[in-house]
Structure 1
Amino acid sequence: MGLPGSGKTTLASKLVPLLNAKWLNNDEVRKAANDWDFSEEARTRQAKRMADFAEKYKQEGHYVVADFICPTPKARELFNADYVVWIDTIEKGKFEDTNKMFVKPEKFDFRVTTQNAEVWAYQIADQLIPYEWDNKKPTSQMLGRWQPFHDGHYALFEEIIKKTGQVCIQVRDVKGVDDNPFDFETVKKNIEQKLLPNFKNRFKIVLVPNITNISYGRGVGYKIEEVVLPEKIQNISATKIRKEMREKGKIK
């Protein structure tokens, strides 16, 4: 639920396949009913209509994803969702009458605060159906020193996980080589602290040799691609972070 333009339908499109769910899109349901009245009374009628469809699918044993504005407490009470996702990404939508009618929910199960649907979809799906790592599934690779694993690396992870849904993070064995003070266990703990809250079981951390060259022959069964992040993210420097940590006496 959320204001028009907040990203409800985009998020639903990513969430539905993860749950193998039935999808109730507000506009499609209105279209089928030929009901384009947007008064408060009509919105209540639409909430009841959506609830009836959702209950039917639920009784058939399906997960159901319903994306609609559901602007008032009365409409939410009528729909009676088992799990509420509030798409709170914009202050105002494109329709002023809806803005005036919309009441921010006091109760919800998950709050989405940015328009990054693929990443949020994984997090929501994993709350409903805990993810299980599978070595045979397509997997993305992140190879690095991670000295330390910082916000730029986190942003990179968010982009990489969109590709396959699970990521193997490889830690190069470089403690004591040049300016690399952290051993594998320290690096692993640091990565887990950042990723476990939102991506439990969607990543695996392994120690690898100090890999400096990646070579391949033609016809390989994998892709090699660069992920280009915003300049603000690219400017995050592990070297600078280590310098600040030394100045504070956190590392030698």
Structure 2
Amino acid sequence: MRIVALAALALVLTGCEQPAGEAVSRVELGEDGESGTTVTSDCKKVEFEGSALTHCIADPADHRITTSLGPKAGEPFRSLPNLAGGRAADAPLVAFAVNGGMYDDAGQPIGYYVERGERLKKLNQNEGGGNFHMLPNGVFFGSGAKWEIKTSDDFYKNVSDRPRFGTQSGPMLVIGGKLHPEISDDGESKKIRNAVGIGSDGRAHFVISEGSLSFGRLARFYRDELKVPNALFLDGTVSSLWDPATGRLDNGLPLGPLIVVEKKD
């Protein structure tokens, strides 16, 4: 009931990597208080170069990944509390969920987006301003137990079969084990940010910062600490996490596409 109540408090604001403020409200509900049981979280707090991060791991052996924009034939959820309210019946299946890519004022994805095998948005190969168009950008996608991240150009040239899920965002942080060429070591732009990377073992590493940090520091965490060959920026300022095991349910600026990591039955 507490999750449903929180859903009603979703803020009616706008934005995607908004320029100012601590936009996300960190909500800690505690352990599964209603049942009195403790559930192991797939997320842990870590520190890198003085920045506090939360690192969540999805393993193909234990999890499946879906994208979620909103209820079927409904408007976008726009927040993790709204997602949690909509998933109340099967919430125990949720390992964690995060915001999953960039979007327009209505919460619709601005790039490639596939949900449960249905493509709702074509690959965006346009040039422009902003983080999304800081080329190369990329696509996080997968079917079954195989999850991948490719640059959008690589995806366009080499992926012919439609995946079960997919979301396009940008910029890439790590490409073939190297940092994005336009990302500086520790640039002036510092925000709460989150991203996803795929390790050589096929596991997906979702990272969200607990405070403001630069693109460069987040990218180095993926390259140097996690040693993933490819990592993709998901968004900034709006970055949010739902971790049912710890009771964390972030709320803040309206979101667009969401990535849900579920436990396998």
Q: TM-score, normalised by structure 2?
A: 0.21
Q: Which has the higher strand share?
A: 2
Larger Rg: 1
Q: Which has the higher helix share?
A: 1
More relative contact order, 1 or 2 (CA 8 Å, 6+ apart): 2
Q: TM-score, normalised by structure 1?
A: 0.22
